[in-house]
Amino acid sequence: MTSNTLTSTPIPAFGLGTFRLKDQVVVDSVSNALALGYRLIDTAQIYGNEAAVGQAIAASGVPRSELFITTKIWTEHLAQDRVIPSLQDSLDKLRMDHVDLTLIHWPSPGGAVPLADTLRALMDAKAQGLTKHIGVSNFNMALLQQAVDAVGAVNIATHQIELSPYLQNRAVVAFAQSHGIHTTSYMTLAYGKVLQDPVLTQIAQRHGATTAQVALAWAMQLGYAVIPSSTQRANLESNMKAQQLRLTDAEMAAIAMLDCGDRLVNPEGLAPRWD
């Protein structure tokens, strides 16, 4: 199953995440990834690494037209009059005149800023050519419904959520799919926790693959985009090979059984009431 059977999405299925990577570490990670053939790079205002990501992209020689760059608006910039100035600041740091995707990183704490206001500002940013697509991240079903009501599902390019074999988030994914909204999985390897999983290890051995490749292939086979990060060139190269790995229906079913609701990202004051 590919994403196109579920939703029509402009988002590449595979890319590089840069969460927790800073300074020369992120420069090296992005540089190596681009040299290996990665074309989707995911950053965010709160990561504090947009300038370093921009530096690596500029030095790579990869044409901007080949790249898909995602950034995310932090909560302090969600007010309608702050969205575009903050995005322009991100673009300055990234050394580019537009990004491909701009996400609301987390819902406004306590609903302080009406979601419709932020989304309208993002639609304005899109109309001005500052971003090609907009989307949301870390929403529950009620918030997704609010977003759909505000700007229409057709304008929500993806919903980026924590999603791994141990946290499969099926209800939220199904709700998004029912509206034609694509899903991007972050933390697909659960901070490395799934890498020792006996079920994934057995599947990996059958395919002559790594457990990381199996977890990433599982998510992509369900139609999700994945954005694993790594500071090691060998791991960056290995993760790419997940794109060629096809799991059997029985293997997909075995991984489906691993869901145990193991949520690793749940920041107090930011996280909504999860479904």
Domains and CATH numbers, the chain: 11-192+223-230 (3.20.20.100)
CA 146/CA 94 separation, integer angstroms: 30
The pLDDT of residue 187 is above 80: yes
> Residue 3's pLDDT is what?
37
What's the start-to-end Cα distance of the chain, in Å?
25
> Residue 8's pLDDT is what?
64
123-178 pLDDT, tens digit per residue, is: 999 999 999 999 999 999 999 999 999 999 999 999 999 999 999 999 999 999 99
195 against 3, higher pLDDT: 195
CA 30/CA 53 separation, integer angstroms: 7
For residue 111, name the pLDDT band (cuts at 50, 70, 90): very high
The pLDDT of residue 5 is above 80: no
> What is the pTM assigned to this prediction?
0.96
For residue 208, name the pLDDT band (cuts at 50, 70, 90): very high
The pLDDT of residue 6 is above 50: no
Mean pLDDT of 193-211: 98
Matching residue, tokens 């870390």: 138
The pLDDT of residue 122 is above 70: yes
> Residue 53's pLDDT is what?
98
Any known ligand binding at 105?
yes
> Residue 4's pLDDT is what?
37
Question: What tokens were used for 64?
Answer: 């901007």
The pLDDT of residue 97 is above 80: yes
Q: Which residues are part of the catalytic machinery? A: 47
CA 41/CA 275 separation, integer angstroms: 28
14-43 pLDDT, tens digit per residue, is: 999 999 999 999 999 999 999 999 999 999
Matching residue, tokens 């950053």: 43
Mean pLDDT of 90-100: 98
> Residue 16's pLDDT is what?
98
CA 123/CA 119 separation, integer angstroms: 6
DSSP the chain: --HHHH----S-SB-EE-TT--HHHHHHHHHHHHHHT--EEE--GGGT-HHHHHHHHHHH---GGG-EEEEEE-GGG-STTTHHHHHHHHHHHHTSS-EEEEEE-SPPGGG-S-HHHHHHHHHHHHHTTSEEEEEEES--HHHHHHHHHHH-GGG---EEEE-BTTB--HHHHHHHHHTT--EEEESTTGGGGGGG-HHHHHHHHHHT--HHHHHHHHHHHTT-EE----S-HHHHHHHHGGGG----HHHHHHHHTT---------TTT-----
> Residue 9's pLDDT is what?
78
The pLDDT of residue 46 is above 90: yes
189-200 pLDDT, tens digit per residue, is: 999 999 999 999
For residue 82, name the pLDDT band (cuts at 50, 70, 90): very high
